[in-house]
Chain A
């Protein structure tokens, strides 16, 4: 928990409690809490004297308020990792004064660690382990007992029955506490430390790296190597080791108290056995460390720590923690980032930009919603207008330079963020620097980036403005004017079948005709599918054409007009289209014909068609891969539509799943007697809602199974189509003797990869089916790789 939240809570408590008569005890407890939480904040006296003062205050109160003090200290230790050394010093001072208190603290921390490991709370576990390590520096814990614990953690590396992610998680926790305790171990137990590091080295060497290519922001290692997190931290620790474990980043207040602390007696950490692997356990999701800058990019001022210096890791971790804590509060977050404690010793702006972009481009998905980073960057620019915008502009130029090998997921996020950022900066940019892109193949990543950014910018502004902002050489990139094309328009000279009916339909709708009247107008159209009198085709393509064109034409003024038209004639859609996939496909084709120049309209209409169940998710997927959409295939909006469709399906399944779970719980809950004093509100809710019968639950489960089958089917369609087009491409290039690695190929394989990344939790459920049905071993290795990388993420 953050300092601020603590403060708010205590403020809230105090205002509420003031009304009551509060006891002296509560008052003292609150005061202690506030003192402990605040220690280390800016103060007129030195940290050391504050710590000394606080230690003697607490010592006096230990007898009466031991439980409370222990609880606050443990909370602070876990929730404020940036103040680890301050709290270890405090615990060290208390231990020196009161040996039993120190022992109880260590026991409680060990309990906390056990709980965290059991609940898969890896962050908490890591910070407890780090706290233990630093307690060694404060003579609270014996070196041997810490080494024992670290070795226990490393034993997971030898466990062959659990996935690699499990041992990775434990090894990472051990590595991440070495910056704190490395020096102490080196001085006191050099041989043990060497043995420990040898263990880690062997593990790091032999571990599989299949998952890494899928998590990289760039395919290329130039100019900066893209390292996996554990490899990178290992390299940083090795560097620290060669520097004799000297680091300059961590402030260590206990050094000043050495004379007091060295006399204290030490405790042993209670024996901890690690929980065994369970298949429901989630471990740290691996990642690749994002590197954008090196010291040559920061022209003046303090030097950027190298990629393998431990300072880089420590600072980045701290910055990530600030973002984690304050991502809901962009202004405060920006202020805290810029107020970083060591800001004069590092090129802070560069490190902040790198960390924020690392979160934005994080794979499989950004940690928080994308807009959070966009608004944070704007806030940073406003707070530091002299430097921040310039660093950010430099970052954009570097990203653009390296865009050729950028992951497609990150490409999309880069487009969206940059469009958004420009819209906040009057679309001003040194477009002239990018003029060369106008000469490139339109599917080249650079050209594509500019096209997509302008499309995004147009959504946030309007076409005319975008056209005025960019240089005239970019006219080829400026989006087309978004206008509907109505093929039955009165000015059209072509004599299309259904022309007259379309005009009659238009007047009928304008005259506020009902669904029945509108359908009556359409019945006059012959069905081109009917071959003889006896056959009765399931749908009439001509009717659908005329109807969809007319509705979209009449509703072309705005999204609301279009939506109103669809809603009003929903019944007509149902009777004309029905459940027939080809009929649904026709609706999408006609929509694309009318609105091919207005991508956002198509995205919104697809969403509307799905919501109103006029078309099914599977149809949208088939449409995306249809012949008609080949020229559109590499455009981002198509994928926006497809991902929206998948997301809709996923949400539907998740909702049904939740409902089934709730119903089951209610049923079970009512069976058992309510002896426990659970929340009153819960009980009331349960009483209000009738207890579901076995049949009801069965029906819900059937519905869920149906939805899950649809979801599986959707993924199967998508992956099958991907495999088809990619295999076809590879085979054709092979027979023609051409290089298969074209722009089209890279976009397409990137989009396949994007499906795995964006919907990884859902796809994971079907990975068994996918590997037996689709991604079989006889498949081209290029396509199979994408699947294997995905599977490796959790193995």
Chain B
């Protein structure tokens, strides 16, 4: 979350902005609460925060220019360097960096960083995982309905499930490429859904947090963590390995490549 410590004398505009921000926080909480009983079919309130926050930033910039407000001279710590807007995901990532890996928690009605330390258990690479066959692992790795793994850990994963009326691969790619590097997109057109695999867990989390319930190209999206998640723990320092693992685990090796070349026609038979 954003901690704005302005000088005590707030201008009217600032107070207005603060009030607005409080409202957004409440909406966000409500959204979390709504999502808690997993995958409610009723439409969710679209999250408009990014847009408005941007406006707010612009406004604040103008204010600073006009000299109406002052920005604190030097940020105290590294984490406070970004003074104004910081996205949810980045915030979580930064706070997670010095605590533990963070994840999407379907049951949290409060903000993630408030309970991060107690709920996080350091994920240790499971030795057994390395030596069981894929089928064994898939069976074991099948998560229970309540969204928690068999061992009670909150779910995490690279792959998200996206549902939306008439969505297409292009739409998904466009909408989600801003969250991180997309490794693979699998579409199930008949079911109006698709699976997007990111190369980082954080990207998947951020995408779920920001995109669930939002409108993209006039389509309302439902975004959640995919039920089937390949378990990938880095076992060595080969940097490409995670990507290869993700691709190997997905069912279609072909991936989401779109050939951008023009079709060549061979109509004139010279010989």
Binding site for B on A (CB under 8 A): 297, 299-301, 335, 338-339, 343-344, 348-349, 378, 381-394, 396-397, 424-426, 428-430, 433, 462, 464-465, 509-510, 554-555, 557-558, 561, 564-565, 568
| A335 vs chain B, min Cβ distance (A) | 8
Question: Contacts A389-B244, A390-B241 hold; do A424 and B271 have CB atoms under 8 A apart?
Answer: no
B166 within 8 A of A: no
CB-based closest 7 A-B pairs: A390-B241, A389-B244, A385-B249, A393-B238, A430-B239, A385-B248, A381-B248
User: Per-residue 0/1 for B231-259: is the Cβ within 8 Å of any A Cβ (1 yes, 0 no)?
Assistant: 11111111111111111110001010101
Flag if B271 contacts A301 (CB, 8 Å). no
Chain A residue nearest in CB terms to B134 = A383
Residues in B whose Cβ lies below 8 Å from that of A554: 270-271
Contact of A391 among B231, B236, B242 (CB under 8 A): B236
Question: Contacts A300-B125, A425-B247, A510-B270 hold; do A385 and B253 have CB atoms under 8 A apart?
Answer: no
Flag if A464 contacts B260 (CB, 8 Å). yes
B230 within 8 A of A: yes
Contact of A388 among B129, B230, B242, B248 (CB under 8 A): B248
B97 within 8 A of A: no
Sample (19) of A-B pairs whose CB atoms are under 8 Å apart: A300-B235, A339-B133, A381-B245, A382-B248, A382-B249, A385-B134, A385-B230, A386-B232, A389-B245, A390-B244, A393-B240, A393-B244, A396-B238, A425-B247, A426-B255, A428-B183, A462-B261, A557-B264, A565-B271
Residues in B whose Cβ lies below 8 Å from that of A564: 271
Bound-complex Cα distance A429 to B242 (A): 10
Flag if B253 contacts A386 (CB, 8 Å). no
Bound-complex Cα distance A433 to B241 (A): 13
Chain B residue nearest in CB terms to A390 = B241
Flag if A387 contacts B235 (CB, 8 Å). yes
Residues in A whose Cβ lies below 8 Å from that of B259: 462, 465
Q: Which of B140-184 contact A (CB under 8 A)?
A: 183-184
Binding site for A on B (CB under 8 A): 125, 127, 129-131, 133-134, 137, 183-184, 230-249, 253, 255, 257, 259-261, 264, 266, 270-271
Residues in A whose Cβ lies below 8 Å from that of B137: 386
Chain A residue nearest in CB terms to B233 = A386
Question: Contacts A390-B236, A462-B261, A561-B271 hold; do A301 and B127 have CB atoms under 8 A apart?
Answer: yes
| A757 vs chain B, min Cβ distance (A) | 30
Bound-complex Cα distance A681 to B234 (A): 60
Chain A residue nearest in CB terms to B244 = A389
Bound-complex Cα distance A142 to B255 (A): 63
Residues in A whose Cβ lies below 8 Å from that of B239: 393, 430, 433
Bound-complex Cα distance A708 to B134 (A): 54
Residues in A whose Cβ lies below 8 Å from that of B237: 394
Bound-complex Cα distance A462 to B261 (A): 9
Beyond the given pairs A300-B127, A344-B131, A429-B240, 10 more chain A to chain B contacts, judged by CB atoms under 8 angstroms and listed by A's residue number, are A297-B236, A385-B246, A390-B244, A390-B245, A392-B244, A393-B239, A393-B244, A396-B238, A397-B238, A561-B271
Bound-complex Cα distance A297 to B237 (A): 10
Residues in A whose Cβ lies below 8 Å from that of B230: 385-386
Residues in A whose Cβ lies below 8 Å from that of B261: 462, 464
Chain A residue nearest in CB terms to B247 = A425
Name which of B236, B237, B257 has the most chain A CB atoms within 10 A of its CB: B236
Flag if A348 contacts B131 (CB, 8 Å). yes
Bound-complex Cα distance A565 to B244 (A): 43
Residues in B whose Cβ lies below 8 Å from that of A557: 264, 266
Flag if B266 contacts A558 (CB, 8 Å). yes
Chain B residue nearest in CB terms to A387 = B130
Flag if A509 contacts B270 (CB, 8 Å). yes
Residues in B whose Cβ lies below 8 Å from that of A385: 134, 230, 232, 245-246, 248-249
